[in-house]
Copies of this chain bind each other. A is one copy, B any other.
Amino acid sequence: MPKRENISMSVIRRLPRYYRFLYHLKEKGVVRILSTELSQKLGLTASQIRQDLNCFGGFGQQGYGYIVSQLCDEIGRILGLSNGYKTILLGAGNLGRAMANHMAFGADGFQLIGVFDNSPEKIGTKIGDLTVLDTAGLETFCKEQSPFMAALCVPRTAAERLGNLLYSYGIRNFWNFSHYDISLQHPDTIVENVHLNDSLMTLCYRISNNPNQKRTDVTSVK
């Protein structure tokens, strides 16, 4: 139920940040928050925050502010965090293990139901409650469990193969850490790319061209 249709990516990428902060406040028992307070704590303008929130509806009370728990819940609902989309993870290396643990809490809208690898050393090992399975069993698993999202924590070449394989098994949503870009091959997919190398190189540029550079999130393109 968005108030307006075209919500821009810039707005969407700020929502998780709002959510995180509000959740934190909620836990601390804070009842009420003002857009100006939020702006100070997050390093944004109050205007932007009010405008962002009003893309989805008027969650505040004029003359009073926002009720923390209510606003937090609303943003969580907008993000769809309670959906718990069934997810599989490919690649049980260090990165894969780290991301599996990240998702284990299920707080971000995804429920991890399987981890796969093709290295004999890793198959059979435990990640949280889950046992790492052989990639050979992927097709069967997908047919039985119908996972909805796949996290790709494998090198580029493997990602190319696996991405297309998973697509053929019906998966259309990806969290992608590799440099292979699935969405260029399959335009009907939703792919969230995380390019850690790019992030490092950007940092390198900012350091190298130092004069008094300010902070910028991946989110807040300045």
A-side interface residues toward B, CB under 8 Å?
2, 7-10, 12-13, 15-17, 19-20, 41, 43, 78-81, 83, 85, 93-95, 97-99, 101-103, 107-110, 148-149, 173, 175, 179, 181, 183-184, 187-210, 212-219, 221-222
Contacts and interface: CB of A to CB of B under 8 A. Distances in A.
Nearest to A194: B199
Given A12-B205, A83-B208, A108-B197, 11 more contacts: A9-B221, A41-B184, A43-B181, A79-B204, A93-B98, A99-B196, A102-B200, A183-B215, A190-B210, A192-B218, A193-B219
B43 A200 contact: no
Contact of A200 (B94, B97, B109): B109
B192 A20 contact: no
Contact of A108 (B191, B201, B213, B222): B201
A149 B204 CA distance: 10
A149 B207 contact: yes
Question: By CB atoms of chain B within 10 A, which of A19, A99, A183, A200 has the most?
Answer: A200
A210 B80 CA distance: 11
A198 B13 contact: yes
B201 A19 contact: yes
Contacts of A194: 194, 196, 199, 218
A109 B207 CA distance: 10
